[in-house]
Amino acid sequence: MSASASGSSAPPPPAVVVVGASLGGLRTATTLRSLGFEGRITLVGDEPHLPYDRPPLSKEVLTGEKEPADAFFRTPEFFEEQGIGLRLGSPAVGIDAGARTIRLGNGEELEYGAAVIATGARARTLPGAEGIPRVHVMRTLDDAAAIRSSLEDARRLVVVGAGFIGSEVAASARRRGVEVVVLEAADQPLAAAVGREVGKRCAELHGLYGAELRRGAGVAGVREMPGGGLAVELSDGGEVGCNAVVVGIGVIPNVEWLEGSGVETDLGAVVCDRYLRTSLPDVYAVGDLASWDNPRFGRRMRVEHWTNTVEQAVAAARNILNVSRGDDPSPYEGVPYFWSDQYGHRLQLVGLASEDVVFVDDPPGEPALLALYRNGDRLGGAFAIDRVGPLMKMRGLLMRGAGFDEALEFASAL
């Protein structure tokens, strides 16, 4: 099927410029093509690398089960075949909405009929510790390669932050036989992400597999030692010696390049409507930096999960195509979902966590669990360790707005 098949007088399909060559940008571009978009597509990325997948980086790439090169999504030939132009290694530095152009750091200007902002987020660094050798963050392909190199001869690793990324890095290092100390500033890890009770259960995995978790351990800085080691200085005056540090204390959306472009941002996120449209005409945003109005939950949210990015990329591509054909866009009503693999266990959250939680499956003496979060009289979300099938059934219930009692009964019978 052809977008311009209706007649030879139809205008050429407009060019789409996708800024950000990671998961969201790539999937927007490939979805446009698979849906039949025939105009020019250009994918802009600040890193020199072809688009790559991040989930394996903190897991199989660190353990050595996969090579960094295994993370690439597609070959250069794929982009040629698909007619997707690549501009890698030069970041976008601005949008001129009047001229409908996107300016790159190397001076190039790309005209767009529609544009997609998919510049994602970068890892938050530890103030004062930037630039110290063997002090890492875990976000990019280069980060993973550097951490892996550090782990090869490290006796002890300190992980700053017991969130999901930090915990995955800790688990991968343990798999390699490296001693691990995880420093968490809060008294209970993951409380905001999954609630205090579930967070406690996740945190217990560290001890079970020989990593030491210290709660309430704020980090003041990192010092290089004369012998080549590192000393992580704690807020309470203590110190932890190690050979390498990985900092996992969250991410910052990459929105600075939009300053002055007229794209509305709020609290560091790009503000989108329910169709993922930004405040500029025909400019959409997807992924970690997009704060959109989710009709399913009746509230604005920003989600940093892999599947949300994929689903938003598909939704944005569909809307670009529909609007270009004179059709109405469709709202994006995704249900947040993520998974994390740690110490051989599969952790999953679907929906929204809260402190109002019921454990429906919790066999004694093992990490496995299935927990349901209540949201008024509705099911608000679910969390599982090693209960993939049941958790995914809960996702189905969430998608259709099931009541909490119904979900509880259903889950108890699984």
Q: Which of 176, 200, 346, 378 binds another protein (CB under 8 A)?
A: 346
251-253 vs 92-96, strand pairing mode? unpaired
Q: Which of 122, 176, 296, 395 binds another protein (CB under 8 A)?
A: 395
- Provide the 3-class DSSP secondary structure of residue 19: strand
Q: Which segment (90-98, 264-272, 336-344, 353-361) binds another protein by CB under 8 A?
A: 336-344
Contact code string over 216-255 relative to another protein, x by CB under 8 A: ----------------------------------------
> 12 vs 396, which CB is nearer to another protein?
396
- Provide the 3-class DSSP secondary structure of residue 140: coil
- Provide the 3-class DSSP secondary structure of residue 356: coil
Asked if 261 touches another protein (CB under 8 A), the answer is no
The interface with another protein within residues 41-70 (CB under 8 A) comprises 55
Tell me how far CA of residue 286 lies from CA of 22, 43, 193, 269, in angstroms.
Answer: 11, 14, 21, 11
Torsion of CA 56, 128, 49, 165, to 10 degrees: 10
CB of 20 closer than 8 Å to CB of 27: no
Asked if 343 touches another protein (CB under 8 A), the answer is no
Instruction: Give the chain's largest Cα–Cα span.
Output: 75
Asked if 348 touches another protein (CB under 8 A), the answer is yes
Asked if 386 touches another protein (CB under 8 A), the answer is yes
CB of 407 closer than 8 Å to CB of 372: yes
Q: How far is the CB of 392 from another protein (least distance, A)?
A: 4
Q: Which of 112, 337, 373, 410 binds another protein (CB under 8 A)?
A: 337
Asked if 314 touches another protein (CB under 8 A), the answer is yes
Contact code string over 84-113 relative to another protein, x by CB under 8 A: ------------------------------
Nearest alpha carbon to residue 342 among 391, 385, 311: 385
Asked if 374 touches another protein (CB under 8 A), the answer is no
Spatial separation of the C-alpha atoms in residues 134 and 116, rounded to whole Å: 35
Q: Which tokens hold the place of 201?
A: 């259960």
Asked if 389 touches another protein (CB under 8 A), the answer is yes
Asked if 28 touches another protein (CB under 8 A), the answer is no
Asked if 271 touches another protein (CB under 8 A), the answer is no
Spatial separation of the C-alpha atoms in residues 39 and 53, rounded to whole Å: 26
Q: Which segment (129-137, 192-200, 210-218, 333-341) binds another protein by CB under 8 A?
A: 333-341
Asked if 375 touches another protein (CB under 8 A), the answer is no
Spatial separation of the C-alpha atoms in residues 170 and 211, rounded to whole Å: 7
CB of 214 closer than 8 Å to CB of 182: yes
Asked if 307 touches another protein (CB under 8 A), the answer is yes
Strand (E) or helix (H) holding 224? strand 219-224
CB of 268 closer than 8 Å to CB of 277: no
Q: Which of 95, 135, 137, 310 binds another protein (CB under 8 A)?
A: 310
Q: Applying CB under 8 A, which residues contact another protein?
A: 27, 31, 55, 306-307, 310-311, 314, 337, 339, 341, 346, 348, 350, 386-389, 391-393, 395-396, 399
